[in-house]
Chains A and B, each alone.
Chain A
Amino acid sequence: MKILVVDDFSTMRRIVKNLLRDLGFTNTQEADDGLTALPMLQSGDFDFLVTDWNMPGMTGLDLLKHVRADDKLKTLPVLMVTAEAKRDQIVAAAQAGVNGYVVKPFTAAVLKEKIDKIFERVDG
């Protein structure tokens, strides 16, 4: 399972990568915003995308929209891990086709639960 972690803060990328490693996902790569993430997704065979929302360049929501609009990427499971906590925003992310939404600050257990849920649904 190859996972791309997108966040503009390196510490948050590191935390997410650590948690993913604890969950048994060791094949992770990083990008610091949507603009760097999108070409990586298009050229690399990623199985899962974990992205922040608020980033310079291209936001996570725009990245999600680009992913859903791309024939090759449109079925890629996307988990949003973000501090954005308004109902409108969560609804917008859902409408854009997000597979899971975790608000920061979050716990390892919450991240695990959402990832398990996403793969249950994708595999099932």
Chain B
Amino acid sequence: MAELNIEPHAPSFQQEMKQLAEDLLQKIEHGDLGKVVGVVNSINEARDRTLYKEIGKLTRGLHESIKNIKTGDELSEESGMGQASDKLSYVIEMTDKAANRTMDLAEEGMPLNQENLDGSIELQEQWQKFLRKELKPNEFRDLTKKVDAYFSQTQANSKKIGSQLSDILMAQDFQDLTGQVIQRVTKLVAEVESRLVDLVAMAGEVDRITGITHTETHQTETPQEDSNNVLAEGPQIDTSIEGVVEGQDDVDDLLSSLGF
């Protein structure tokens, strides 16, 4: 990232101004009015030059930091911000896909597991009967067949469940990819913020050089929090903040204090 250097009152500019001012004074003292106008023009030019140079630097800096979000393999000429939101959409898409894949696999595995459980319960009942010597010979023959079938069934189901579990593990690979994308976007936001801070500093210097003063613009009234219109804010990342509940227990306590 190219360092942005904002020095509107760099020595060269100040020296130039000083020299021109001395020159101007001299010309006035000599009553050389034609030349006085010329010097005044030079002063204006020097001021404009500095101004344009600094604004140019700043624009370049902003552009650079926005361009930095682009990675090498991207062909699109879209703006960095547009790409940042594309990248975040990609994160949503990836997490959505992974969540659905995981749920698909879990839903496929659940009935297999249930089948094993049901089979085991049924066999155990008959096995207990056998131990109590309540099983007739033909029932015992039936039981041996069932045991045999149960072995095959549980082996097949366990294999399937095993591969589903390993696919569930693999479906978590999104974390790496989305993490990297989010890190990039976070970096862009930080860069843009620092450029904006530079922009504010620059604007201050521009005002100083040009002598522009601003009448203090009144802050637009902060919208009054309407108790009838409490807005959604999304997840609270920091639960230590005043007024944020720490979990379901806090919610339950609060609601019970309200008579729930």
A residues with a Cβ closer than 8 A to B are 9-11, 14-15, 18, 53-55, 59-61, 83-92, 94, 101-104, 106, 110
Contacts and interface: CB of A to CB of B under 8 A. Distances in A.
A86 to B, nearest CB: 5
B235 A83 contact: yes
A101 B247 contact: no
A53 B236 CA distance: 14
Given A14-B100, A59-B232, A87 B248 contact: no
Chain B interface size, under 10 / 10 to 19 / 20 to 34 / 35 or more: 20 to 34
6 contacts: A15-B103, A60-B232, A84-B234, A86-B233, A86-B236, A92-B227
A33 B245 CA distance: 25
Contact of A103 (B243, B247, B258): B247
A92 B230 contact: yes
Contacts of A15: 103
A-B residue pairs, 6 tightest by C-beta: A54-B232, A92-B230, A83-B235, A11-B99, A85-B236, A87-B243
B96 A85 contact: no
Interface in B205-235: 227, 230, 232-235
A83 B255 contact: no
B15 interface: no
Contacts of B236: 83, 85-86
B157 to A, nearest CB: 20
Contacts of A84: 232-234
A86 B248 contact: no
B168 to A, nearest CB: 14
Contacts of A91: 254, 258
Nearest to A89: B230
Contacts of A85: 235-236, 239, 244-245, 251
A90 B255 contact: yes
Contacts of B247: 103
Contacts of A87: 243-245, 254
Contacts of B258: 91, 94
Contacts of A59: 232
B248 A103 contact: yes
Given A18-B107, A86-B245, A94-B260, 6 more contacts: A11-B100, A60-B232, A61-B232, A84-B232, A90-B255, A102-B251
